[in-house]
A and B are shown apart, each in its own frame.
Chain A
Amino acid sequence: MFSIDLLLGAVVLGVLLGCFYAAVSVGLSVSFGLLDVPHVAHPAFLVLASYGVYQLNESYDIDPLLAGLAITPLFFLFGLLAYRTYHETFEKRGSDAAVRGIAFFFGIAFIIEVLIILQFGVDQRSVTATYIGKSWRFGEMRIPIRQLVAFAVALTLTALLAVYLSKTFMGRAIRAVAQDEEALRLMGANPVRIKQYAFGIATAVLGIAGALLIIVAPVEPTLDRAYIGRTFCVVVMAGLGSISGTLIAAIILGVAESIVLTLFGASWAPAISFAMLLGVLAVRPQGLLGR
């Protein structure tokens, strides 16, 4: 049952999967990692984006990636709105914010889930595109092209965000606001507006990430629950707010999941990310790759 080929195949697929996980987690790495917002609804927005892509693909036959790109402005607005509400009601008032802030996003996630169910039902949905359904052969190994597409787009997306945060003026401001809000205020910048903008970016990225999610596999309304484990696992493991760390952590998770899937079967897969997350939280809360 066990062979080197099998293991090698699992690792290769794991790396592809890992890069995809980086793309769905990178937004959270900004919103939770950098901005410290307990954004439990991040995966729910991700699944919502997938359904947006599904709708465009189904009704107008738009390529899922283009559809994902098309909905990014909308998700940018969602992000602005979500942060503004969070800031006005919790960050600003301070007291007891932790408990209620978490409950707030938990509630939002639940609302999104149910709205999707009401609109689309509980059945799985998938998209169609020319690259979905075919695969490449490398000797014994078969790699679905949808995985390769997701891999390439995910890598590009993550790299673009990393460049944005380190090279552009706004990106640097976002990093600065995460480190020292007070200093930024003294320099005359408005930290709240920068954070709001950053949250918008983090959510906008989900447009593309949602497209990848539905390209890789069919989606269902409660899929966000599994991704709470995956995205938070990646972000925490990465060391909060590190984009390159996010990529590495995501690949570690992808490979781990892929190997467990190959060796023990699909029924154990959902627990992997959560078990790793729990392990990291218990042993090294500052992240495997951080400081």
Chain B
Amino acid sequence: MTGHRNSIIFWGGVAVFLVAVLTMTQIVRNEYPFFAGYVILQFIALAVAWSILGGYAGYVNFGTNAFFGVGVYTAVALFKATGAPLVVQIAAAAVVGMTLGFGVGLLTLRMRGIFFSIATIALAIIIETFVMNWRFVGGAAGIQIQRPPVMAPFDSYVKMLFFVQAILAVTAISIARYIQNSKVGRGLQALRDDELAAECTGVPTLKLKLIACMISGALISAAGAPAAMYLQYADPFSAFNLTYSVSALAMALIGGTAHWIGPVLGAILLGSTQQFLAVTISSEVNVLVLGIMLVLFVVGAPKGIIGLLRPRYRLRAGGKP
């Protein structure tokens, strides 16, 4: 019963949020809030998507940047080749991200823990190297993107991107929430705790890991797809920047990965702090803050913000009562 009521509250919240976002794009004149808001929404999507694999399944993916960059360059290549509209670019990025996720999922067959993490870094660098040598999309020098005309009801492209990213973030959250409450979520939690015990209790671990990798990958790539349009530019170094990996991981762990709300909180907190610091001090300092917060939280608050807010989780972490 409470599950049903929760669903009504959740979807009501989603509807209110999207309507509010849309209304905001129609009323607010100044473009800056949309520029900043886009980045925060993007981080929400990344952190939530990351935690499907990293949080639920316990496989620490350092290759968020690989998926992000693949999303960016799928969109760029498609746009340059066919002039495909943004929706198609995003869909294509999701498909490519899902395929890459399948590949990463197969890696989990042979490796876990630090080996898996290192392998995902390796994947990111290898893909980046290929893109750097890919002339069609500008190689290492990067490529300028000419935005197409904006579609009604929006009066600026950035506002439209803001709305699109809001939908992507909400999609990521809805999927993460669905997984968390489903059998798949319980299976992932079991295999995170103990893969062999999970297998012997009937959990199809490989299948679940593949599902988690593919969904996580598709969502990250989709969130990255509009980035080229947002910046009107793409180059391999920024698209495959390791900062995306650290950010996604840090926001998820700082928020807490036991519940989908954790990464959302982490992304809002860190994303807005970063936006503020980047404007007031420097972009280096905001990356520093990210690193320090990450270290402080993994050392001092293993369950993240939601662990601090909900004493039940603290009790769990505390050992024998």
Tell me whether A6 is interfacial, beta carbon within 8 Å: no
Q: Mark B209-253, 1 if CB is under 8 A from A, else 0.
A: 000000000000000000000000000000000100010011001
Given A99-B54, A114-B284, also A267-B253 (CB < 8 A)? no
Interface size, chain B (Cβ < 8 Å): 42
Q: Provide 28 A-B residue pairs closer than 8 Å at the C-beta atoms, listed in order of the A residue.
A: A93-B302, A96-B302, A98-B58, A98-B60, A99-B54, A99-B253, A100-B253, A102-B117, A103-B250, A104-B295, A106-B246, A107-B292, A107-B294, A107-B298, A111-B292, A111-B295, A114-B285, A118-B288, A222-B242, A226-B125, A270-B128, A271-B130, A274-B126, A277-B118, A278-B123, A278-B126, A281-B110, A281-B118
**Interface size grouping (class) on chain A:** 35 or more
Report the bound CA distance from A117 to B291 in whole Å.
14
Does B291 contact A110, Cβ atoms closer than 8 Å?
A: yes
CB neighbours (8 Å) of B288 from chain A are: 111, 114-115, 118
Nearest 9 interchain pairs by C-beta = A274-B122, A38-B114, A271-B129, A107-B294, A110-B291, A111-B291, A107-B295, A114-B288, A100-B298
Does A102 contact B114, Cβ atoms closer than 8 Å?
A: yes
Does B111 contact A285, Cβ atoms closer than 8 Å?
A: yes
Q: Mark B165-194, 1 if CB is under 8 A from A, else 0.
A: 000000000000000000000000000000
Q: Main SS of the interface on chain A?
A: helix
Min CB gap B298→A, angstroms: 4
Does B121 contact A281, Cβ atoms closer than 8 Å?
A: no
Which residues does A use to contact B, with CB under 8 Å? 32, 38, 40, 85, 89, 93, 95-96, 98-100, 102-104, 106-108, 110-111, 114-115, 117-118, 222, 225-226, 228-229, 232, 236, 267-268, 270-271, 274-275, 277-278, 281-282, 285
Min CB gap B49→A, angstroms: 17
Contact of B113 among A38, A108, A267, A274 (CB under 8 A): A38
B:97-120 near A, CB below 8 Å:
107, 110-111, 113-115, 117-119
Report the bound CA distance from A100 to B300 in whole Å.
11
Report the bound CA distance from A151 to B295 in whole Å.
36
Tell me whether B287 is interfacial, beta carbon within 8 Å: yes
CB neighbours (8 Å) of A96 from chain B are: 58, 302
Report the bound CA distance from A118 to B289 in whole Å.
13
Min CB gap A103→B, angstroms: 5
CB neighbours (8 Å) of B118 from chain A are: 40, 228, 232, 236, 277, 281
Does B249 contact A270, Cβ atoms closer than 8 Å?
A: no
Does A107 contact B302, Cβ atoms closer than 8 Å?
A: no
Does A285 contact B60, Cβ atoms closer than 8 Å?
A: no
Does A104 contact B291, Cβ atoms closer than 8 Å?
A: no
Q: Main SS of the interface on chain B?
A: helix
Min CB gap B46→A, angstroms: 15
A274 nearest in chain B by CB position: B122
Min CB gap A111→B, angstroms: 4
Report the bound CA distance from A271 to B130 in whole Å.
9
Tell me whether B132 is interfacial, beta carbon within 8 Å: yes
CB neighbours (8 Å) of B114 from chain A are: 32, 38, 40, 98, 102
Min CB gap B144→A, angstroms: 21
Does A271 contact B113, Cβ atoms closer than 8 Å?
A: no
Does A103 contact B249, Cβ atoms closer than 8 Å?
A: yes
Min CB gap B225→A, angstroms: 24
Report the bound CA distance from A104 to B250 in whole Å.
10
Given A106-B62, A285-B111, also A40-B117 (CB < 8 A)? yes
Given A110-B246, A232-B118, A268-B133, also A99-B60 (CB < 8 A)? yes
